Structure 1
Amino acid sequence: MRYRLLPQRHPETAAKRRGKRAVACAGVLLASVTALVSAGTFDPSPATAAAPATRPDGPSEVPASVQPNSRPQVTAAVLSMDGRDRRTAVYGDDTPYDTASIIKVDILATLLLQAQDAGRTLDAHERALAEAMIKHSDNDSANALWREIGLAPGLEAANKRLGLTSTKGGAGFLWGLTQTTASDQIRLLGAVFGTGSVSNTGTGPLNEASRAYITSLMAHIESDQSWGVSSAAGSGWALKNGWLQRSATGLWDINSIGQVTVNGHRYLVAVLSAGNASMNDGISLVERTARTAVASAAGR
């Protein structure tokens, strides 16, 4: 079985909602994940990096024809927020993927951390940009805030404090080509939603007000973007999705990260995928994977 546990590190501290949300059932065996591997849903091979897209996020202007016989890759990571086991369960190879728009959560976390360091809160203009960037996945707003935080160097400096170890910022303004892993996204989510002592004491790089602000925006995503890890939720979710068609291959990166609540229990979930033949195919893959991974983690 391609299943393993990673130690949880406390931080230093678009496609309408499709179908009914499935409620993941606790007690689903890890064999469910193995079945996905056998069926080709979980690909154990690392994702192959492609040439930069015309735009850092969203469809390329003149995408190449989709390569035939392509097989997508996907990795999921799940952390129970309420259980005793504080290790992240990783399904598939924890290899780097393009972030596409999920990087926008990291951009906002960096902005807030920098503002905290300066002893200030975000001004009205910054808050308007942040709201558009997270709730509507607006790229112009992301460009502006990416510049403000100091591009990749600013992101990476903040990530060291947030506990991320495997995320490398995209060159120049290609923030959508930032490389990250599923386990690193769980670390980021942990810094936002809090795990262990963080949620209890308010300690950690991001203060309570900063974490509450990011959480609120992620819980009010535009309705046509509320797919992804939310398919695994029962009673509540907060998320950010990313989608990117690569101009070199015509294939899609589809990602989703966030917190879901199932049967009263909270889980942090990150599902990253690459090589999807279409955006809809990628969304279906991410949602199936999220449901199976959360159900498997609940049954541990």
Structure 2
Amino acid sequence: MPLRRARRRVRPAVRRPLLCALLAAALLVCGTAAGTVYVTARAQDGGGPAVSSAASSSVSPSASASTAPGADVEEASVEPVAVPEVDHDALLATALAEVPVEDGAAFSVAVLDVGAGDAAVYGSGRFETASIVKVDILAALLLQAQDADRGLTAREKAYAATMIRDSDNTAATELWKAIGEAEGLDAANERFGLTRTVGGDGLYWGLTRTTAADQLVLLRQVFGDDDESELSGASRTYVRGLMGRIAAGQDWGVSAAATADGSTDSSRGGFALKNGWLPRTATGLWVINSVGRVTVDGRDRLVAVVSHGNTTKAKGIALVEAAARAGVSVFSS
């Protein structure tokens, strides 16, 4: 009997540590499962990144056991992927590489996608304006009239119409003198933001020198909005209207890149432009330029192409038109 009682006393003492160990192991397993379920639920709920089965199995028992449902879990941050910037100048250079150019000829192009606000420029040299300066002359005249709080006179309007629509040189000379010749043009251009355009000497307005980039700035003055132009809405509408009604035979140039949009408003049709052409007396080579707005599949582009060193007018026109089409293609959707 004494021996029996002794054995009974020993058995509970042995069982207690064993039961405690089993209970602790069960708690650890439950805690790990609860932590894994919680993290997986957070991932599926949008609360954090998905956790793979491999990742779940790598969670330490101590970390899992300490995570209770409802507790905050540090979520992995996802870095935004940067959208690469488009180098429109490089795209324009690539497109223009396919344009055939005569030996000795040179050209420069500037294009603006009006809707997107993206621009591209090829070449930085200065070129003689020839008759594209007539848009600049009219813009300067309108700016001076705005400053004087007056409208154009009937004579000024008559000169402006023939100067732009028919490219009349006599009318251009009269308005050139009216704005104060090169000094008046340069003063207006400073306000317009043209930084590399210089008016021609004396009455040689056609020898004003400019860049394609500056001509794009001028086009924005004409075709832009109130917040980007020194010209009033009425002045801009007036210039656009004249550029949209160029005389037959003078509507070549950047218009080659346009597609008709079916508009009955001539100033909102497929194009509005001004061209310039001038044979240089000393060399017999041609200056051929074209600037304006073109509508391509319902979207507006501002385009300026300037060139010199062309052996004939026809070859210069072909160069300008090919360059305009290539320029516009850079922003085609």
How far has the Cα of 1:298 moved from its partner?
Answer: 2.5
How far has the Cα of 1:88 moved from its partner?
Answer: 2.3
Tell me, in whole angstroms, the C-alpha distance in 1 between the residues paired with 2:92 and 2:230.
Answer: 36
User: If the length of structure 1 is used for normalisation, what is the TM-score?
Assistant: 0.76
Whether contact under 8 Å (1:252, 1:274) holds in the other structure is yes
Which whole-Å deviations, capped at 9, do the CAs of 1:166-188 have from their partners, x for residues lacking one? 10000000000000000000000
Larger helix percent: 2
Gaps of 5+ in 2: 1-86, 261-269
Equivalent of 2:199 in 153, 169, 177: 169
Residue aligning to 2:51:
none
Which whole-Å deviations, capped at 9, do the CAs of 1:145-168 have from their partners, x for residues lacking one? 000000000000000111111100
Helix, strand or coil at the partner of 2:274: strand
Root-mean-square deviation (Å): 1.8
Residue aligning to 1:283:
317
* Aligned residue runs from structure 1 range 235-250, under 5 A: 235=260, 236-250=270-284
Gaps of 5+ in 1: 7-27, 42-69
Tell me, in whole angstroms, the C-alpha distance in 1 between the residues paired with 2:164 and 2:286.
Answer: 21
Going from structure 1 to structure 2, the CA distance change for 1:4 and 1:96 (only over 3 Å counts) comes to farther
Which whole-Å deviations, capped at 9, do the CAs of 1:1-57 have from their partners, x for residues lacking one? xx8649xxxxxxxxxxxxxxxxxxxxx986432333xx446xxxxxxxxxxxxxxxx
Residue aligning to 1:159:
189
Tell me, in whole angstroms, the C-alpha distance in 1 between the residues paired with 2:326 and 2:247.
Answer: 25
Which whole-Å deviations, capped at 9, do the CAs of 1:89-121 have from their partners, x for residues lacking one? 012x21100000000000000000000000000
Residue aligning to 1:71:
104
Whether contact under 8 Å (1:30, 1:296) holds in the other structure is no
Equivalent of 2:125 in 84, 95, 103: 95
Residue aligning to 2:97:
34
* Aligned residue runs from structure 1 range 130-279, under 5 A: 130-194=160-224, 199=225, 201=226, 204-235=229-260, 236-279=270-313
1:125 corresponds to 2:155: yes
Going from structure 1 to structure 2, the CA distance change for 1:5 and 1:31 (only over 3 Å counts) comes to closer
Residue identity opposite 2:104 in structure 1: R
Residue identity opposite 1:110 in structure 2: A
Tell me, in whole angstroms, the C-alpha distance in 2 between the residues paired with 1:40 and 1:148.
Answer: 38
Tell me, in whole angstroms, the C-alpha distance in 1 between the residues paired with 2:228 and 2:151.
Answer: 18
Whether contact under 8 Å (2:159, 2:172) holds in the other structure is yes
Tell me, in whole angstroms, the C-alpha distance in 1 between the residues paired with 2:162 and 2:94.
Answer: 40
Tell me, in whole angstroms, the C-alpha distance in 1 between the residues paired with 2:329 and 2:151.
Answer: 39
Helix, strand or coil at the partner of 2:249: helix
Tell me, in whole angstroms, the C-alpha distance in 2 between the residues paired with 1:170 and 1:297.
Answer: 34
How far has the Cα of 1:72 moved from its partner?
Answer: 1.0
Which whole-Å deviations, capped at 9, do the CAs of 1:173-212 have from their partners, x for residues lacking one? 0000000000000000000000xxxx2x466310000000
How far has the Cα of 1:74 moved from its partner?
Answer: 1.0
Going from structure 1 to structure 2, the CA distance change for 1:4 and 1:291 (only over 3 Å counts) comes to same
Residue identity opposite 1:192 in structure 2: V
Helix, strand or coil at the partner of 2:300: strand
Helix, strand or coil at the partner of 1:216: helix
RCO (CA 8 Å, sep 6+): is it higher in 1 or 2? 1
Residue aligning to 2:12:
none
Tell me, in whole angstroms, the C-alpha distance in 2 between the residues paired with 1:152 and 1:30.
Answer: 33
Tell me, in whole angstroms, the C-alpha distance in 1 between the residues paired with 2:330 and 2:229.
Answer: 29
Residue aligning to 1:51:
none
Q: What is the aligned-residue identity percentage?
A: 51
